[in-house]
Structures are given as C-alpha cells and as structure tokens.
Structure 1
Amino acid sequence: MTQRFFINIPRLFLFSLIILLISGCDADKKKSEEEETKFDSLAVLPKMKPLNLKYGLPVDSFIVENNTVKRNEFLATILLKYKIPYNQIDLLAKKSKEVFDVRKIKVGNPYAVFMGRDSAQTAHYFVYEIDKINYIVYNLSDSAGISLGQKPVRKVAKTATGAITSSLWNAMTENNTNPVMALELSDIYAWTVDFFGIGKGDYFKVMYTENYVDSVSVGISSIEAALFHHRGDNYYAFNFPEDSVTYNYFDEDGKSLRKAFLKAPLKFSRISSRFSNSRFHPVLKIRRPHHGVDYAAPKGTHVFSIGDGRVSQKGYQARGGGNYLKIKHNSVYTTVYMHLNGFAKGIKKGTKVKQGQLIGYVGSTGLSTGPHLDYRVYKNGKPIDPLKIKAPPVAPVKKEDEKRFKAFYKPLKKMLDELALPVAAQ
C-alpha cells in the first residue's frame, strides 16, 4: 500500500498541473475575448465633434444675432431691445468701468447677442468688438460677469517691393501692398529720407510680418528689414533687438536711423514754398525774405514736434503767422510752427514736448491764402533752411553687441538684395 501511494503522487501532481493549465488558458482566452469586444465597441463609437466656438462661446448652443452699432445707439438702447432690465444694464456698465468704458462704444463696430434656443429666446451674452482683435463679453445672467478676449491672430511673413512713380502711398496700392506700409516706412526713415522729395527712380524693398484675423488683414505687426533707394543712395534699416524688450532700427554700419530731429513736422503733404531771402508774398504782393518751408496740407492735418524740447512761445499774430508755436530744443536749435488752426490739448508756454508729439493742426490763420504750415528752424538764433539741417544721430549699436548685430543683419541684407527689383525701377 505504501509503495502504491508513492507511485501515484506524480500522477496526481501531473493531473493537477494539467487542470491548472487548462483553466489558465480558458481565463486568458476569456480575457482576450473581453478586450477584443472592448476595442470593437470603442471602434464603433462616434467621434466627438469639435466645438464650434466664437468669442469663446459654443455657437451651436445658441441663436446668435450679429449686428453693428448704429448712430445714437448705446449699451442700454441695444440691450433694452433684448428685454434686459435697466437695473441689470446699469450694473453691467458699472462693473465694466475697470475693464472697458461703455461710453466708448463706437458707431459701426460689430456686436453679437447669444440667445437661448428655447421659445423665450432669452439673451444670455452680449459681445462687443472693441477693434478687429479685441472684444468684451458681457454675461447677461444675474452674475453679470465681464471678460476681455482676443481673436486668434495669425502672423504671416511677407516681402514687398515697389517703385515710386508719384507718392509712397500710391506705390503701395500699385504694388498690392498694405497701404499702411507707407506710414510704417515714413516712421522708420523719418530722419534719413526726405519724403517730400521722393520721385521716379526711388524704390523700396521690405521684409515684414502682417497680422490676420479670420483671413482678413488687421495690420502690419513689424518690419524686420527694409531698403529704401532714394536719389541714387541705398538706405538700409534692420530692426535689431538691443535687449528682450527694446528694438531699434540701425543701418548696416550699426548707426541708428533715429536722429535728434525728424525730417519734417507732418506727414504726406507737399512743399508749396521753400526757404528764400526774396519771395513774392501772395497776400502783401511784395518781395521779402521767407525763412521757412511751407507745407500745403488739408486743414486739421496733425503737426508734430521734430524733436524733444520745451514750448518757449505760444501766441497769435493777426498780421503774420496767425496761431504759432516756438519750441526750444537745446542751446542751439529752435523751431517755429505757424498758421495753425489750433493747438493740441495741454500745449502751452513751458510745456515739455517729445519728438513726434502732436502739438497742433494745420490751418490758415494770420496772413495766409490757404491751409498750410509755415515751418522754420533757427540755429543759434539765425534762420536756416529746414531742408538742409543735419541733425546728429542717436547712439549706435553698443560695442558689446557689435558681433551679435553683424550675425543678425547680414542674412537679412542678403535676402533684401536678392529680392527682385520692381519692374519700374529696373
């Protein structure tokens, strides 16, 4: 008996092992079948449809009415049409003050009202577009929440070239370039190019970034590099980052394009009379010195200070310059602006002004036959021709940044030089 018992132990062990293996296989098979079923069920699940958002709100959940602000419409007049109680509108206006002043809602700007899809069509949100990028969302519920938002902005790197045939502005439209580029270039080259003397033979090349919202251009973001060919000379401009926040334009030699004085005190006009020691006066009908430059421009055109300084005189000459300003820039230079229609807010004797600051508006006051600016420059008390003034430049690229600047501008210059010339300039 004892012997038979020991002989059967291996058989029992083997049998048990076989049972365990079979059970394990069945368990694995069952698990595999469960996982297969699980993945099959996931495969047939419908894919989630991405939310259709506008102003950060799910459009499909609402009825959306789009409109524009009409004349004599305000926040109250708009929301009252959607049965928003006046006390609720008043609360929104008060809570909005720190974010956006509702009194600044402009005629022609778009707005949208998000209403529920129920039979009552209750208004839940009011969205006003402050500009092409920024908007404000008003929650019309009891919480009266207010939040600012921005539309997604897409930046597109572009290049443009154009030949000057009449004016810088026309050159942009003739070459299918955003006309705002004319303003941008005039700012960059305000100290180096006489934009009242540009003409045939002049041309430009530009590398820039333009912003788009909903496939519509909303302006030029930045100009990385530019070349302006003027009267046979090339003027380069490279937008060099001096530090993490400060960008300035320098030429290929590292000299700043910003000078102590602007080339002219206003933009996009024409010279109607130049500096002369003997000019026939159109009102007095006599010859006398005209120690300035007359810029013919529409009434109300903005006039800017050509440099930092302080207003030394502000007054009116009935038999002369009409409304005029005199600005002392330093111990050497003084400028005078005459025949102004009026003065900018805050401008008075003793006021400090910055280069490019608005100081007044073109007019026809005093002895004048039409709207224009009589602009004069005095050096050490003596009149000089404003068109021949040579203003000193501001600081060049710092010595410690020279190596970095060279590595920055050289590839940009190469790309500018390789841009094809506009046909009219070839």
Structure 2
Amino acid sequence: MKSRMLRTSSWNERRPPDGDNLSYHGYDYDHHSCQPCIVWRADMTKENPARRDRLYLEEDADLSIIQNRLIASIGYGSQGHAQAQNLRDAGLQVIVGNREDRYADTARSDGFEVVPIAQAVKRADILLMLVPDELQMSIYHAEIEPHLREGQVLDFASGYAMHFGLFTPPANIDIVLSVPASLGEVLRERYVRGEGVFGHFGVHQDFSGQARQIAMSLAKGMGLLRFGSCECTFGEEVGVNLFAETAGLGAIMKYLLTAYEVLVEAGYSAESAYSETFYELQFFAEYLCKSKLGDTQFGSSTSTYLILRRSGEVVDDHVRQQMRAMLKRIESGELVRDWNLEQTAGSPVLHQLKREIAEHPIRDVEALFLERKEKTGW
C-alpha cells in the first residue's frame, strides 16, 4: 500500500475529509500560512487488513502420537542441541546422528547416544533435519536419501530447502515443519524455566494422513505450544524469516552501525555514540516487548515526541519501497540463487564482509563496554 497523507486546516475537527479512507496522524505546520494543520494518513488496517492466524496451544496437540517413535536429531548445533534436549525432557526417545566432531562430543556429554547420520536414518522413525542450510543438500544425498524408508517423517526447522527445491525427498514419507522463532539457546533456556517461545508448524507432504498431527506433536514436545504456534506453509516460513534477516531485525545492526558512524563523524565521542546506539538497544527492545505499542511512553515526553514524530523522516516511504523490493527478491528466489553462487565460489564476499565488521573501529569501544558489562554483572 502506498503511504498517503493529506493536510487540512480544520484544526478544531479531528475528522477525515469526506470520501477519504484516512485516519488522524498528528499535526504539522503549513509552511505557506504558518498555521497548524491536521495530518491525515491512509489507514493500513482499513485498506490492507492483516491476515490473522490461529494460535495453537498445548491442549491442541497430542504427544502420544509420537510417543513410541524414535526421533533422530540430524545435527547438534544451535537448534539441534535445544530441540533434542527438549524432546527428551518431554518423555520422547531421541538419538543424535552426527559426524565425529565437537558437536558429537557435546551431544555425548549431554547424555545422548550419538551414531553416524546414515545409521540414525536407518533406525529412527522421525528425522529432525538440523544441519545448516548450506550443508543440507550434500548430507541429504550422501547420508540420508539412500536409507530412507516408507512412512518415515522428515522434519525441518526452516522451509528453505523444500521451498527452494534444493532436493526432492520421496513421495512415501511425511515432510513437516516445526520452527522456533528464536535461537536454540533461547529455546532451551526458556524450556528449562517452564516457558516457551513462539513458533510455526506446517506440512509439505502428507503421506501418512497424520503429518499435521505429527508436526503439532513435535512443536509441543519442543515447547513451542507453551507460548503458542501458528500453522504456515514452508514458503511462508522462509519468506518471513529471510525478510526479517535482510530488511527487518537483521537490518538493525547495519542501521545502528550507520548511526554510530554519523555521530562519530560529527565529532561525538565513540563512547557516547556507542552508548546511544548498541548499548541502549537491549533496554529499548525489552521495553518495547513488555509494552503495548499504542501505550508506549519512550522515557520523557521529549523522547517520545521525537521518536514518534521524527523517526519517520529517516525510515520513510523510500525505506518501505526498498523493503518491498527485498521481499520480492526473496520470493522470486533471487537471494537464494545469489547465496548458492557465493558458496560455489568459496564464499569470498561473505569472508570479506566478516573481515570488515571484525576490523571496524567500533570494536575498540565495544570491547570496553563488554568488559564493563562482565565486571558489573550486567
């Protein structure tokens, strides 16, 4: 939806002009008459209402469906260690399929039986595909595909591989999705505290006729239904996730780094610039998450006014258009094709970008703040 604004001089009437689908947005000053005026803005909720999904909770799923099935976590990294431990704590049978590396050692120290991936595929009824996206295709073809049997379940923590067709599993298995909206460390930490995180579940292929119930059972065992989870397609999950990583939450680091650079260029100290960008991010994010957006008071009235009134001049309609363009590139598969080419070439661009971040001057002041955090127990 294109953002649309209209200014009127009806200062005493907070009512949109007849025939316009507009809502009250605030006030401004008419630069011609030098008089205050009302600003009306197109209401996104009226013109383009958001689709709402049902939130599924623990009572909506039945763990007994997978109670007597052996689950194999293929991989024991960030998501693997969390999902495997949560499912085991939920009373389910779990083994780990992994190559002999430090992750296998960690899994053993956590009390799991660790076997080669091919052996795990032969033994298990449910396979959790929890190796990184860039390794899934080679591992699938070499160590999983030759040993699949009819009736097994292949569960993914991302819609990436299936939606973009990295490989095609046989038609005689179930293919499902159970995805926490958090890092594995957070998922595990919340589970141990008796809490959960939001998640998604879905079905790509239903051979058994029970794929949806199985996906929900896995989500319940992982703790995703403690908070609540929504059902989605593999395409929806990967679209939202990749968009968040490029134009949503993932863009925050670049945005704050740019803000830091602008302040330093203007002569402000590195300490002051860092404290007002990266250091305050956690406080601000926690405050936002605990508040209702419409009821939020961002500290003082001055801060609240500037945030609500002026931030839109930076994050403006140009940014909105850039976000829309990025979403189209994700949905078309362009970004995935680019990443595939990058990997084929040995990831030179990725390595260069990581070097640039590692060598950025902000790292000096960052080290100071991290040291102080550690010493003060923050």
Task: Please give the TM-score of this superposition, normalised by the length of structure 1.
Answer: 0.23
The structure having more radius of gyration, on CA atoms, is: 1
Which structure has more relative contact order (CA 8 Å, sep 6+)? It is 2
User: 1 or 2, which has the higher strand percentage?
Assistant: 1
User: 1 or 2, which has the higher helix percentage?
Assistant: 2
Task: Please give the TM-score of this superposition, normalised by the length of structure 2.
Answer: 0.25
